[in-house]
Every structure is written in structure tokens, then in C-alpha cells.
């Protein structure tokens, strides 16, 4: 398993397991399957309503605490200093953990304009040793700049929608310039149209791999952290079996050429859903 080092020296697995849309009573089984397959990083959020199932799977696994990495996220209606601190405590209670590995602001909600206040709470949690690294999700260049200006602190990581059809080139370049790790959500394009493209089937056939594995390999080779999701054991295993081959420069360019600029999820510049 390859790793990525964050700007504060914390090391995280480059590939993890996403659990969005897995109900709590199924999350324990799915996470247990992922841990069995070798995953050591789990991406959840308050809004996924499955932190308890994730926590149960981690406890039952018996894997030592320093061998797995857990990310969770602060929800949109909690962008207030005290509320954010309480939300963190509640997430930790559900997960059954003392120290979290990575805490993210889930969306910036620019129309509300309180993410810098939420960020101050994350800084406090970090200073108190309750979380090993802090970052953001769905931040644009504009909201990142405002965060730098108002707080002077650069997030360790920004988790954003990113897949070959929506490659976020400009944002990735901005991250690289500022030492922010790029983490890709919906890395497989949610399994919709992307994985059926004949271009990917052609590349996959050359390496004896699947289109999903080619896409994940593309992410790893451009330096992204990826968190593919599946509840199907064979796919969970397939999605981590991507460390024994390397795409050639020509095949990387062919995957790059699939970009169409279309998002699958909401536009973070205007998204203000409170849940």
C-alpha cells in the first residue's frame, strides 16, 4: 500500500474505503470486508449516519489503533466554534475513538460564510491533540484563499469530486503550489457511464485489469488519495488490487483525454444544503 505524507508529517494510506450511502447496519460488514482485503483507511462523515457501524467494525477487527486511519467530517449546520467542538465529540463517541486521524469541514457553504469560524474549532482540536490532521472538503480556490487570509493556516488536504471526466486540473495545481494533498471523492465516477467507456476497456485489456482498476491507477499516478466505495466483496478486493501495475505515459494521456468537465455532485460554490 502506498502512502502520502501530509504537510504536518502525518502519513496516510493513498487508497482508502469510502462509506457514503452505506446504511449503519451494513457499514460494519462492508468495513470488515474492506479491512480483511487490506484497506487501512476509512472515509466517513457525520452526514453518512454510519460512524457507529464503522467504529464497531474497527473494534471487532482487533487491528491495532496505530495501523488504521479514520476520516470523518463536520456537517454544514455546525459552522460555529462551540457547535463544531460538540459535533466532533459526538462523532468520536459514535466512532468509539479517542483520537481521530483526519477531520474535515464537509462543505464550505459560502453563502453562510462561517467556515473560517469552523476552521478555528478544528485548529483547537488539533492543538489539543484530539485529531492528528485537519483539512477541508469541497473547497474551491476562492474559498481556500479566504481560509488562508482569515486564519493563516493551510489545510492538510482537500477532498473534492475528481475522476477522469472531471479532473480538476486547476485546483490540483493550486493544491500542489500550497502543499495541500488532493483527495478524490467519487473516484470511479460513482460507477456510472465512466466505467463503461470503450477507451477504458481497451486500456484495461492491455494490462489484464478492469476499467475500475485503470481509473484508480490513474488517480494514484497523479498523486491523489482515493476512497472508492463498494459493498460487493469482489469489487472491494478488486479496488485495492492496483499496486502491481503501472500505466504508461501514453495510457495516462488517454485517460486524461476523457475529461468532459461535467460534475456528478453539487457545485460547492453554491451548495448550501443543511441536511
Q: Which parts of this chain interact with ligand NAD (CB under 6 A)?
A: 18-20, 43, 106, 137-138, 159, 185-191, 195, 210, 212, 227-230, 235, 238-239, 265
**Torsions phi, psi for 220 (to 5 deg):** -60, -40
The smaller minimum CB distance to ligand NAD, of residues 20 and 81, is found at: 20
Count CB-CB contacts under 10 A for residue 119. Answer: 24
Spatial neighbors of 267 by CB under 8 A, at least 6 apart, are: none
Measured between its terminal Cα atoms, the distance across the chain in Å is 35
- Minimum distance, C-beta of residue 157 to ligand NAD, in the bound complex (Å): 11
- Minimum distance, C-beta of residue 204 to ligand NAD, in the bound complex (Å): 11
Longest CA span, the chain: 54
The smaller minimum CB distance to ligand NAD, of residues 43 and 101, is found at: 43
The smaller minimum CB distance to ligand NAD, of residues 129 and 236, is found at: 236
- Minimum distance, C-beta of residue 177 to ligand NAD, in the bound complex (Å): 22
The smaller minimum CB distance to ligand NAD, of residues 82 and 260, is found at: 260
Told to judge if 48 belongs to the known catalytic residues of this protein, a careful annotator would answer: yes
- Minimum distance, C-beta of residue 189 to ligand NAD, in the bound complex (Å): 6
Q: Which of 240, 250, 233, 177 is nearest to 210 (CA)?
A: 240
User: Which residues are known to be catalytic?
Assistant: 48
Amino acid at each position: 500500500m502506498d502512502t502520502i505524507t501530509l504537510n504536518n508529517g502525518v502519513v496516510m494510506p493513498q487508497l482508502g474505503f469510502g462509506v457514503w450511502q452505506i446504511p449503519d447496519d451494513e457499514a460494519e460488514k462492508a468495513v470488515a470486508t474492506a479491512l480483511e482485503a487490506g484497506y487501512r483507511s476509512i472515509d466517513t462523515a457525520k452526514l453518512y449516519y454510519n460512524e457507529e457501524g464503522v467504529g464497531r467494525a474497527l473494534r471487532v477487527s482487533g487491528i491495532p489503533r496505530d495501523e488504521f486511519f479514520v476520516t470523518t467530517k463536520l456537517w454544514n449546520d455546525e459552522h460555529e466554534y462551540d457547535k463544531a467542538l460538540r459535533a466532533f465529540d459526538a462523532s468520536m463517541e459514535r466512532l468509539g475513538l479517542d483520537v481521530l486521524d483526519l477531520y474535515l469541514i464537509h462543505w464550505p457553504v459560502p453563502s453562510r460564510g462561517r467556515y473560517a469560524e469552523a476552521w478555528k474549532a478544528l485548529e483547537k482540536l488539533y492543538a489539543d491533540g484530539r485529531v492528528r490532521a485537519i483539512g477541508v472538503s469541497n473547497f474551491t480556490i476562492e474559498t481556500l484563499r479566504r481560509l488562508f487570509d482569515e486564519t493563516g493556516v493551510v489545510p492538510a488536504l482537500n477532498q473534492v469530486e475528481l475522476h477522469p471526466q472531471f479532473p480538476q486540473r486547476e485546483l490540483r495545481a493550486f493544491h500542489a503550489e500550497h502543499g495541500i494533498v488532493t483527495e478524490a471523492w467519487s473516484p470511479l465516477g460513482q460507477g456510472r457511464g465512466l466505467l463503461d467507456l470503450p477507451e477504458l476497456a481497451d486500456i484495461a485489456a492491455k494490462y489484464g485489469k478492469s476499467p475500475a482498476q485503470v481509473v484508480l491507477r490513474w488517480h494514484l499516478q497523479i498523486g491523489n488519495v482515493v476512497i472508492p466505495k463498494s459493498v460487493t466483496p469482489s469489487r472491494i478486493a478488486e479496488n485495492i488490487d492496483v499496486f502491481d501495475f503501472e500505466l504508461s505515459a501514453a495510457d495516462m494521456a488517454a485517460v486524461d483525454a476523457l475529461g468532459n468537465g461535467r460534475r456528478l455532485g453539487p457545485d460547492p460554490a453554491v451548495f448550501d444544503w443543511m441536511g
